[in-house]
Structure 1
Amino acid sequence: MTKQKVIALFPEASYGAALNCIGIAQQLRGQGARPVFICHENFRGVFSEYGFAEYSLASGAGDGQVDWNAFINRHKGAFQQSPLEQISSYVAPTWDAIVDTAIRAEEPLKRLIAQIRPDAIVLDNVVMFPAVANAGVPWVRVVSCAETEIPDPLVPPYLSGCGAKKGADWDVFEARYAREVAPAHRRFNGFLAECSLKPYPAGQFLEASSHLNLLLSPEIVRFERKQPLDPQKFVYLDGCVRNEAPYPMPVFAAGNDKPLVLTSFGSLGAMDVAMIRRMISVFATLPFRFIVNAGPWRDDYSHIPDNVLLESWFPQPSVVEKSTVFIHHGGNNSFCEALYYGVPSLVMPYCWDGHDNARRAEETGTGLKLDRYRWMETELADAIASLAGDKAMHTRLKDNSLRMQAAAGVSKAAKTILDLL
């Protein structure tokens, strides 16, 4: 009998990457492989809930963990700044924390890989872990952030929120980015050298895999490239949406016949309670039903309008599928889920590649962008109504949805990984 292939998936400690990898693992399991997860201690239980074996990095000083909730609390003032201003106030400190994560995780990660003995490793992260590169088996890079993560002269700078047409703003952003992240990058290159790996070019923390690279970016929002990616090593998945349990639609106190608007800013964005309260006060005046992801801050709300329901957690793809508009932060999973189900996005970004996806939604006619904090009540109300009533956009998105679903990105991901072996 053919030995069952063991595929170790190692997503970063964020729900976006974790849930994206779960979608791929579901298909790997369906195609006869044995997917297992390497995870940080604070993500234990996330993968076992879907029936996958978990291997947790050792707890204590060597676990490589960063308390991202505490990190966000310390830096949340930066979310009211422009992407250019965030380079020094948020992006550079984030890269410092990410480098710390990689350094502290190295030894426990080497031990886990030796214990698992995988046939391949799938890395969904923004930083290289040398233990993965030195494991002696093929490794796959998953780009579950925006496509801007893979640079090209025709693609706007990563994290910039710049438009697709190159202008002086590209050069200004790139120069400041290179200057501000240089200390973290030098430290990271020193770490790579200690692990017998070559240094990376300035500003780069993860290289392309020589084996296989998987990009979520759907065709409808994809950039033209001056240097086309090798299709044998760079595979576009046209979104990569996991299978989730059905979501039984709850009964609202009012408006049960009205269109549904989903609002979810991700696991970290949900802590912005004051901003979401302000949004809810607008929701109360509109002829829609609203489901709002409140995360663990559900009890911080009172006086909930009859047409609003707060949830601490829900199977997001199953709710997106039932929605008329999806308000989100521009996280790549959320953006891809909206496109996968043909739902317009109202993107209110606050950091990282959310800025890139917000701009891309406007440029490609797949949604609208709204400043996360500098909006008038009428602007928010008008944006929701405009997206809900734009029949031409809905028709175009539904046609695109059929193409994305036919592309079966998660199945393609699993097949290309197994073809490596």
Structure 2
Amino acid sequence: MSAPENAVGARTMLIVPWTPADATRESEAMLAEAVGLCRAIGLDIRHSETIRLDRPRPATLIGVGKIEELAALVQAEDLELAVFDAALSPTQQRNLERDLKVKVIDRTGLILEIFGERARTREGRLQVELAHLQYQRSRLVRSWTHLERQRGGAGFMGGPGERQIEIDRRLIDERIVRLKQDLEKVRRTRELHRKPRRAVPYPVVALVGYTNAGKSTLFNRLSGADVFARDLLFATLDPTMRSVQLADGRPVILSDTVGFVADLPTQLVAAFRATLEEVTEADLILHVRDAAQPDSEAQAADVHGILKTLGIEVADNPNLIEVWNKADLLGPDERAHLRAEAAALPHPGVLISAVTGEGMEDLAAEIARRIARDRVEISDVVDATDGRALAWLYSHGEVVAREDADDGVHVTVRLSPADAGRWAKGRLPRAAE
């Protein structure tokens, strides 16, 4: 069951179960994040609390006494919705709705509602619809009051016919097949777009991180773009790409991606795989972390887990930069501690504030250093009249030395291995490429 059709302003009760399995996360931080998720779609939270569960109940998740207490609260406050910040089974959700006498959605359903509201591009809407249908399919048993009715057979043959639930499931399956076909077309289109970038090739720098870590604000700071950025969970859903120049003049493609979150629904990870491929294709990944968040370590672990599902190794990865954001919210001692921690990493991290610009020079220098790490330095003499070759070297590499002499232009350039190979073979792309 999804949220009420007009979810904005719905009088809501928020319950955050805390179990021993959540020991790495602070209960207060979990509650604050759940409140943020609810407010992301405008729910009016009238009551919120964390419930410690040593032994979750298979039928209802929480105990009978607590259910009676919450049911009384629902009636007294005339609540319209109960949100449980947990993954409820279809049975648990149905039983809670029966006992509380109010609509119930779980964490997965809530995140799907947020994504459904935020998707703007056709691709984003397709991905969200696919994830939502996959989620609904397992819950048809709760979503209808008429499932036990059976439609009559055709003509004189009679018979029980096809159960309504079977019809609903078949219709959903057919729509899922069409959505997957449409998304496969999107994936092929995205692959076609990548080919020209590989031919140039400009390095791709992808921003990843927990939702609301400040990725879009950093993206705007680095690119001068005006991407929607607010103190709001999942402010960015559809990926955004911009071509920007580093301090040394080298062009890179900057990619902002959807934020990650603890217990991100598996349906969404699968549905957004085409979008997340941008991360797997990136030459450099900036893992943006909220340094002012008490649960920063747990959030980082969640992001690392999702990156691993995409086939990206995190430990000792020279292509990943840890970026501690929101330094402006920290005190001097906290800043000093984080700077020391960042410097001690196998591959140094950076402490910044995307809002104030603090540390941005250090970040730009680290990005340039990491990108240049794999570059090949070549020295050559170019005919002074060969403007095309010189222009290509300047646009594709970092010219570290140049001397104009009688026999031509003596240059020393740092190039990517692919471009160094092209130069050595004299196979330069056309100017338009």
TM category (shorter chain) comes to under 0.3
TM-score (structure 2 length as normaliser): 0.27
